[in-house]
């Protein structure tokens, strides 16, 4: 049996887990159960580590190209397709305007999560653990909690689309609900196994989606000239769509460091950045632009099949299947296969959900990661089923709310890194990650964050709330204004904090 297990690990490219990867001891009442389960899972190459920083001696993986595939695969899927379709479907933008906005926003916004990838190999810390060096030990509980909700929001969106796709090819034998359950379970299986299996999965899961997009262009490309001519549009629609798109990309920041923590600490930061940036940019531009193009034609009414499948913008999976329907059974097969690769985005998200939850409290960290992955799957099944019938409202609500806090958080992390730590990774005392007295007090970050949200709220433009500034015609400029406030206030507050606390 041991030989078979070793062979299975070799086939997956999985190495034996080191001592630093062991889960913190749980409550004595459950310790025996957890230890037995953890021991059994370790034998089958399931990652059982906690959130402790990975020491340089364990950061030995030199396959930097994996960082391209992780983010290329996670974004080369139907959710990116759905993001692009928001412009024509929700904001009434023409195809030309949508494509121009997507091009500019993707080129700029992909820079930010790509740079955050560098933190993984250099520090060996999960993103929310690294936040301790800006927010302090106790202050970091706030972004960790927000990240938990954000990751679950991502999961809900992905599983809704996956469920719709499976339902669209089942000829009535499978509804959205059962489809959502299937996607959630597959995502749980991949995430449950942990870091190395996720990397292996991401290196191959992109293939069906790339093939499907090529086939879609081959089959449906001739209809794209039917997109209606552009009509006068408002500046608020352009700004809001741009911020929604930017949010969908920048919102990866609180998780990108998590997938480089075992890569070599001596790896070139430039190479790490370029691999990640290429992965984000190529996938985002492709998925976003295809989504905008096909959605614009579907909403024009010139292709009744696409229009019916799209269901007034509420069924991205149905549009996907309708475009491939001329291919008959092969088209249905490709739709189902692409649905089953949606875990390429869900599995890393579920993994970060678990590590973020463990960062909120020492007591949470004593529960193994795979337990939280299971909890996450249970939550997203229930919420996803409820939200499936109102996809676009759910999409804009979730993506905007994630974007508000994650962009502000990201700006603060970068200011701390470049201004106060001089872009020097040696300035981070890795041994202090869980010692409050050796970390920043966190008052500066918390105060700056709250002040930023004080101005973000009146600038919001959501289905459930439109702030007075947004109502005046500016559109949703919350992310832009909030980032500007952080750039001004955080350095001021941090200087004062360092004067009194000196950390």
Which phi and psi (to 5°) does residue 461 adopt? -135, 90
Query: What pLDDT was estimated at residue 42?
Result: 61
**Is residue 214 classed exposed, middle or buried when 0-12, 13-18 and 19+ CB atoms within 10 A define those classes?**
exposed
Give the whole-angstrom CA distance, residue 316 versus residue 88: 13
Alpha helices in 194-303 (DSSP H): 195-202, 206-220, 235-250, 269-300
Please state the rounded mean pLDDT for residues 390-412: 76
Tens digit of each residue's pLDDT (9 = 90 or more) over 47-57: 667 788 988 88
Query: What pLDDT was estimated at residue 149?
Result: 87
| Encoded tokens for 243 | 């911020």
Asked if residues 287 and 294 have their Cβ atoms less than 8 Å apart, the reply is no
pLDDT of 173 above 70: no
Query: What pLDDT was estimated at residue 379?
Result: 87
Query: Residue 466: helix, strand or coil by DSSP?
Result: strand
Q: List, in sequence order, every residue forming a beta bridge with 61; answer none if it has no partner.
A: 263
Give the whole-angstrom CA distance, residue 439 versus residue 263: 25
Tens digit of each residue's pLDDT (9 = 90 or more) over 418-450: 999 999 999 999 999 999 999 999 999 999 999
Query: Residue 64: helix, strand or coil by DSSP?
Result: coil
**E strands, 287-437, in order:** none
Query: What pLDDT was estimated at residue 390?
Result: 64
State which CATH number among 3.40.640.10, 3.40.50.150, 1.10.630.10, 1.10.4160.10 fits the domain covering 50-501. Answer: 1.10.4160.10
Give the whole-angstrom CA distance, residue 147 versus residue 472: 31
CA 151 to chain CA centroid, nearest Å:
7
Give the residue extent of every domain in the chain: 1-49, 50-501
Tens digit of each residue's pLDDT (9 = 90 or more) over 205-261: 999 999 999 999 999 888 888 777 667 778 888 888 998 899 889 989 999 999 999
pTM of the model: 0.86
Query: What pLDDT was estimated at residue 444?
Result: 96
Query: Residue 461: helix, strand or coil by DSSP?
Result: strand
């Amino acid at each position: 049996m041991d030989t078979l297990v070793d062979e299975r690990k070799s086939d997956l490219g999985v190495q034996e887990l080191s001592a630093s990867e062991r889960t913190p001891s749980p409550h004595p009442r459950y310790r025996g159960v957890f230890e037995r389960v953890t021991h059994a899972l370790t034998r089958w190459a399931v990652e059982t580590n906690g959130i402790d920083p990975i020491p340089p001696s364990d950061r030995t993986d030199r396959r930097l190209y994996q960082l391209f595939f992780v983010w290329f695969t996670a974004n080369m899927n139907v959710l990116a397709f759905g993001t692009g379709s928001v412009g024509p479907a929700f904001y009434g933008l023409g195809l030309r305007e949508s494509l121009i906005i997507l091009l500019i926003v993707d080129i700029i916004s992909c820079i930010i999560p790509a740079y955050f990838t560098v933190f993984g190999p250099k520090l060996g810390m999960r993103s929310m653990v690294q936040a301790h060096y800006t927010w302090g030990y106790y202050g970091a509980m706030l972004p960790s909690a927000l990240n938990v909700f954000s990751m679950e929001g991502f999961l809900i969106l992905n599983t809704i689309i996956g469920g719709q796709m499976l339902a669209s090819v089942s000829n009535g034998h499978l509804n959205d609900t059962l489809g959502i359950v299937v996607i959630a379970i597959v995502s749980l299986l991949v995430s449950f196994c942990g870091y190395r299996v996720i990397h292996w999965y991401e290196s191959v899961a992109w293939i069906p989606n790339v093939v499907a997009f090529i086939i879609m262009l081959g089959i449906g490309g001739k209809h794209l000239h039917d997109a209606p001519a552009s009509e006068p549009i408002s500046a608020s629609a352009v700004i809001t769509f741009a911020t929604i798109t930017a949010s969908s990309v920048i919102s990866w920041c609180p998780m990108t460091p998590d997938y480089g923590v075992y890569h070599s600490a001596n790896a070139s930061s430039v190479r790490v950045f370029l691999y990640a940036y290429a992965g984000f940019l190529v996938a985002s531009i492709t998925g976003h632009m295809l989504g905008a193009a096909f959605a614009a034609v579907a909403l024009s009414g010139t292709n009744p099949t696409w229009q019916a499948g799209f269901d007034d913008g509420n069924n991205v999976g149905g549009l996907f299947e309708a475009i491939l329907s001329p291919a008959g059974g092969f088209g249905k097969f490709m739709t189902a296969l692409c649905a089953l690769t949606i875990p390429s985005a869900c599995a890393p998200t579920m993994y970060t959900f678990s590590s973020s939850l463990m960062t909120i409290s020492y007591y949470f960290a004593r529960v193994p990661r795979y337990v939280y992955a299971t909890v996450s799957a249970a939550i997203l099944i229930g919420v996803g089923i409820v939200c499936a019938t109102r996809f676009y409202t759910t999409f804009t609500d979730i993506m905007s709310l994630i974007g508000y806090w994650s962009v502000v958080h990201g700006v603060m992390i970068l200011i701390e890194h470049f201004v106060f730590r001089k872009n020097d990774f040696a300035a981070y005392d890795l041994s202090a990650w869980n010692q409050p007295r050796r970390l920043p007090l966190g008052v500066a970050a918390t105060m700056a964050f709250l002040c930023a949200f004080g101005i973000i709220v009146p600038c919001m433009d959501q289905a459930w709330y439109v702030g007075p500034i947004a109502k005046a015609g500016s559109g949703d400029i919350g992310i832009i204004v909030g980032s500007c406030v952080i750039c001004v206030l955080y350095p001021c507050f941090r200087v004062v904090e360092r004067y009194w606390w000196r950390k």
